[in-house]
Amino acid sequence: MVQPEATIGVPAGSAKAPTAASEPVARGAVAPPRKRLRRWSRLALRWEGALVVALALTVALGAVTSRQFLTASNVFSNISLLYGELAMMTLPMTLIIVSGEIDLSVASTLALANSLVGYLWVQHWPMPAVIVCVLATGVACGALNGLLVTRVGLPSLAVTIGTMTLYAGISELVLGPAIITSFPASYTSIGVDPVPGTAGLLSYSALAYIALAVIFALVLHATAFGRSVTAIGYNKEAAQFAGIRVKHVKTMLFVTSGLVSAMAGVLYTFRLSTAEANNGTTLVLPVVAVVLLGGVSIFGGRGTMLGVVLAVLVYCGLQSALLLTNFNSNALELVTGGLLLLSVLIPNGGELAARARRLGGRHLKGGL
């Protein structure tokens, strides 16, 4: 299990599989639900606490290794500008993973938005119309994912591997080998200039991320919709029987994901002032990695927006700090991998030690 609570639960709980619909009952029989719930929130707090410590260490590391790290120009150009779009895409991804699904097509939707902005612009569309059309395309991409997952009943992992390839393919068809750079400066400045009144710290993508993060956090933690997302992720059947419109909720999530990815795609285009087939398609796994690092369970039902926001900061901060030390920029993903591995191993450390102690006898009863 990804997350801390599993370490405290009954040992048998450690084998929790995405299926086991009946399992909460079995586990509940051992530890009363309410007590477990309190443990959960405590441990979730502890996980976010760990991320706060990691963030503090990151900032300390950055400040010690380079005097540039804490300057406004570094924060702006190497963090908020560089990672704004990635950060935006983690928000709907968090909701989707909490609901027990996954969307691997986000980066391809971003790439499609990028190509489409370029294509429509050279067709002499006015920019506002281009943006509206691109966002509508994002909604359509999300809707197709949602439709295939909820109405046809296909697993989202497989569906979005398919649409990932499909949307990237359409992005290639839209632009072909063309590379479009003739965007007006009035728009590309949105991509490269800081937002006025933010002390030169925030890019427009970072501002969009912060605004959306607040909205998404409120939706996930303070609305009935958010509760139903969590309920679906924890136990789909139970959610269904509790009267939650599972299909509707999931479709909404995929549509939101498409929309936000397209928004990120528009900002991405303005930042690079370039439209090119397959721009940015490699962003997908980093997005998933950051969400999981934020303590969201890959099996759904668990995760907080605060954790994911902290994970975004740790991820960006650490990469930026390493970049300033002349670390090979192509090997930066070592950070992603290392953090991800630690994030799943540390919470399981207690259980691991216990299992190591048990090793020796109890072959058959081991897990019971």
Q: Which of 65, 68, 77, 165 binds other proteins (CB under 8 A)?
A: 165
Rule CB under 8 A: say whether 17 interacts with other proteins.
Answer: yes
Q: How far apart are CA 354 and CA 38, in angstroms?
A: 23
Stretch that binds other proteins, among 59-67, 210-218, 224-232, 346-354 (CB under 8 A): 346-354
- Spatial CA neighbour of 152 closest among 18, 251, 261: 251
The CA distance from 183 to 268, in Å, is 13
Interface residue with other proteins, options 35, 186, 357, 364 (CB under 8 A): 364
Measure the CA–CA gap between 222 and 212, rounded to whole angstroms: 15
Q: Does 340 bind other proteins (CB under 8 A)?
A: yes
CA distance 110 to 160: 14
28 binds other proteins (CB under 8 A): no
Helix H or strand E encompassing 179: strand 179-180
Minimum separation from the CB atom of position 115 to other proteins (A): 11
- Angle 40-1-91 from CA coordinates, rounded to 5°: 75
Among 182, 185, 330, 365, the residue binding other proteins under the rule CB under 8 A is: 330
- Return the range that interacts with other proteins (CB under 8 A); candidates 130-138, 184-192, 259-267, 340-348: 340-348
209 lies in the binding site for other proteins (CB under 8 A): no
Q: Which is nearer to other proteins, 53 or 173 (CB)?
A: 173
Residue (231 or 277) nearer to other proteins, CB: 277
- Segment 96 to 125, residues that bind other proteins, using CB under 8 A: 104
Site string for other proteins, 250-279 (x = CB under 8 A): ---------------------------x--
Cβ-count burial of 32 within 10 angstroms (0-12 exposed, 13-18 middle, 19+ buried)?
exposed
For residue 271, CA distances in Å to 13, 110, 264, 265, 268 come to 46, 13, 10, 10, 5
Cβ count near 196 (within 10 Å): 8
Q: Which secondary structure element, helix H or strand E, spans residue 180, and what is its range?
A: strand 179-180
Interface pick for other proteins out of 64, 129, 173, 218 (rule CB under 8 A)? 173
Q: Does 153 bind other proteins (CB under 8 A)?
A: yes
Handedness of CA 276, 317, 91, 237 (dihedral sign): positive
14 touches other proteins (CB under 8 A): yes
Q: Report if residue 10 touches other proteins, rule: CB under 8 A.
A: no
Per the DSSP assignment, residues forming a β-bridge with 361 are 359
Does residue 328 belong to the site contacting other proteins (CB under 8 A)? yes
291 sits near other proteins (criterion: CB under 8 A): no
Structure tokens at 39: 């443990």
Report the alpha-carbon angle 134-136-141, nearest 5: 95
Which residue, among 101, 4, 96, 98, has the nearest Cα to 51 in the 3D structure?
A: 4
User: 58, 94, 163, 319: which one contacts other proteins (CB under 8 A)?
Assistant: 163
Contacting residue, 152, 185, 197, 361, with other proteins by CB under 8 A: 152
Stretch that binds other proteins, among 80-88, 232-240, 249-257, 341-349 (CB under 8 A): 341-349
Q: How many CB atoms lie within 10 A of CB 224?
A: 10
Q: Which stretch binds other proteins (CB under 8 A): 169-177, 205-213, 231-239, 305-313?
A: 169-177
Interface ranges with other proteins (CB under 8 A): 1-2, 14-15, 17-20, 104, 148, 152-155, 157-159, 161-170, 172-173, 176-177, 277, 282, 285, 288-289, 292, 298-299, 328, 330-334, 336-338, 340-341, 344-345, 348, 351-352, 355, 364, 367
